[in-house]
Structure 1
């Protein structure tokens, strides 16, 4: 293992900051260096990767789970939807709640497998 793993007295399976073993700088769960964040952490901070590629990764659960890390200093602010985009989204979501058969707007999304609201589907049976 590395000097770091020997220093803390643990056998750290996914600690590979130089990327020699995993081909990409790799850190175990909750051991990422400061200045790096996952997409979810960026989103919570109101940021986005800004078109930059990940610079490291976190592995956990025997290497079956992975999260890519992005540099905070290269992150850009999240984009905000314009009023026209919000209106288009609202229109599309309303269409997903409108029954094709009866034309009613339901408080739930119309199941795609039926193509109609649950009331119309039960009436067909």
Structure 2
């Protein structure tokens, strides 16, 4: 039986970082997204390992793994943080041309709401 393609638990071939193939990470190691789903964050720890897989666009992609034992709880949302987040989201929905709340996040490639983009396209 041959070993999987990205099997390097000692980190000899990947700069000292233990590397595992897709879906073969050891117990106790989680990605940022998996930690967040558990209400945790890496808490300042460096990645302890990585998983690698072949990308459909060519090459390989890594996902860094963190130790569950060193993870810390997610910081609670403060009122000031919630207000800043609401203000930022409002700015992403406000059209700079007509100054209205579009009700959705404006497409960055247009820079305006769809109505203003249509009027600009018709005028050209």
Same fold (TM over 0.5): yes
Give the 5 Å matches for 1:30-109: 30-61=23-54, 64-109=60-105
Over the aligned positions, Cα root-mean-square deviation in angstroms equals 2.1
How many residue pairs align between the two structures? 117
User: TM-score w.r.t. structure 1 length?
Assistant: 0.78
CA shift for structure 1 position 113: 4.7
CA shift for structure 1 position 66: 0.9
Aligned-partner Cα distance in 1 for 2:8–2:110 = 50
Q: Secondary structure at the match of 2:85?
A: helix
Q: Which has the larger radius of gyration?
A: 1
Aligned-partner Cα distance in 2 for 1:112–1:61 = 30
Q: Secondary structure at the match of 1:123?
A: helix
Aligned-partner Cα distance in 1 for 2:44–2:81 = 21
Unaligned runs of 5+ in 1: 1-8
CA shift for structure 1 position 114: 4.5
Counterpart position of 1:11: 3
CA shift for structure 1 position 30: 1.4
Aligned-partner Cα distance in 1 for 2:65–2:111 = 41
User: TM-score w.r.t. structure 2 length?
Assistant: 0.79
